[in-house]
Structure 1
């Protein structure tokens, strides 16, 4: 929605939307073809996964998703809209379900509308959303580069081109640059400037939460890889780097919902030095399933917690009135 109450327009023409759907169907078709071609190895890989590994993987995903929420919440607070933990979790996690819908704007539209109900200006919600992406992308590239080099020095070489973005994103972490870009964008959109500029403290806080999130995501993948291939500290380091790099490659592809397919293909390629193809595909698919489950669990729990808090506040208010 716009500041005057009008609807937000996605800016995507019918032809572009059709192209996105066609791309998604094509990607799913090729993905299904690859999966069917390796089905025996994939089924054998899934059979090797223990219940304990899957539970540990899900717990790590929940921690990683909370890290992402805290990254966004830190940026939003630094911009002038600190939200209580329960309310912030509901806005973030429920809004994030929009990433599974084709189109890149559904999550930010959902967060803008839910945030508005809590007194957060739409422009501030949008700024926090779009700032979260480069923070996670930049920190993810740094984490993947360091951990892959530490675990297997040659594993990162084929993806050296992606790490060229690190210096660019490092400049974007400077609040003065970010504030100037945000101010320019808001002027072009004929919106009021942000009342409170981003600070270094807010940016470093967000980066700290993002780094914690990457470690948790790596542990999520390590729990799966442990049953399919190598184990030990080196394998954990490699898993952190493999997940972070595949996520970054997926987020660079905005035409696909939540990086669907791209992240899995990248993960299979990055895991090639430690797993056979069938096991790597099983690990990538299992990771995707656990993350989807984690998104649903976080959204459900956050919504339930926020509803209970609202009901408790109403009961408290009615008790005072009596």
Structure 2
């Protein structure tokens, strides 16, 4: 009979294995098959989003120059990077700092799930891929669901400020939406967020998060989100300059117009990636500076450039992570990637992710 020492305290086991090479779960053939199927389905819906409106898209692109489209795509890639850093900062603040390349792969590949009808696919994909890096599922889910209100609140605030600065009358029809700003500001208080997360985990019968969200982590995430909205505005401005409006105020207006239309679109969770809703909202928001035909062209071009940006980011992140994992190049496999957080600077600047608490159970990156 094995004797159990009385000095070992009894308690619940960690929800997931700790991050690192030995503890991280290995991919089974079934898991790989599921990931491939997920990518095929997501890419199929993304292709359908382009093909279903191809005639309109081709007509719209014919009005734009290739330099403008390239600039718009570069700005979209930068904006998507801001979204990834927002999520990464929250994940690090919750206790799982990830190095840049593995974090980019988890985020960008997972985000392809937004093109599949239903709102659960991105979070399920991120939970599964994060688990291979030793990130507990509950922590992945918490970071995902926190990213949405952070982007929504920052987007509404940015749109209110920029629309009022560029064209005051353009914000008046949407004053009711901006009433959510003070509500979300209260919700951003870490004590409120931690209480809500704790309540939800208790209701689900799960262990509480080992590390609560901090004000520093929330402010870091908000900073990245604001940078992301600025890049999205430049993406739309590159299109608008080709369709007629000019002047520095167009760039400021574009930031608010895109942020507001995105916020309206994200409120419709059952529509893949806000498809259709964001375009209708963008046409309405652009009405003060463009005629209806040009506004439709701008909205469709914006949609297609963003789809291309999603594909570019997912492909680049996947290749970068795979190159890192190739033996003989000084890289590591998926299970070891989380162990390099300190070497690549952890998460976003100022998130305080990699610190003396690395050794705590529950999936900390070490």
TM-score, structure 2 as length reference: 0.75
1:183 aligns with 2:198: yes
SS at match of 2:326: helix
1:108 aligns with 2:138: no
1:64 aligns with 2:79: yes
- Deviations for 1:185-234, whole angstroms, at most 9, x for unmatched residues? 00000000000000010000000000000000000000000000211111
1:220 aligns with 2:235: yes
Map 1:131-146 to 2 at 5 A.
131-146=146-161
Contact 2:325 2:331 (8 Å CA) reproduced: no
Paired residues, what number? 286
Map 1:31-46 to 2 at 5 A.
45-46=60-61
How big is the shift at 1:45?
Answer: 4.7
- Deviations for 1:44-79, whole angstroms, at most 9, x for unmatched residues? 653321101000000000000000000000000000
1:151 aligns with 2:166: yes
Query: Which blocks of at least 5 consecutive residues in structure 1 are unaligned?
Result: 6-27, 318-322
4+ runs of 1 displaced by more than 2 Å? 42-48, 312-317
Structure 1 residues 316 and 51 mapped into 2: Cα distance closer, same or farther (>3 Å)? closer
Q: Larger RCO: Structure 1 or Structure 2 (Cα < 8 Å, ≥ 6 residues apart)?
A: 2
Partner of residue 262 from structure 1, selected from 261, 270, 277: 277
SS at match of 2:170: coil
Q: CA RMSD in A?
A: 2.1
Structure 1 residues 118 and 313 mapped into 2: Cα distance closer, same or farther (>3 Å)? farther
- Higher alpha-carbon Rg: 2
- Deviations for 1:1-45, whole angstroms, at most 9, x for unmatched residues? xx699xxxxxxxxxxxxxxxxxxxxxx9xx97xx99xx6xx8765
1:74 aligns with 2:89: yes
Contact 2:91 2:140 (8 Å CA) reproduced: yes
Cα distance in 2 for partners of 1:44, 1:58 equals 18
Query: Which blocks of at least 5 consecutive residues in structure 2 are unaligned?
Result: 1-14, 17-24, 26-48, 333-366
TM-score, structure 1 as length reference: 0.85
How big is the shift at 1:255?
Answer: 1.1
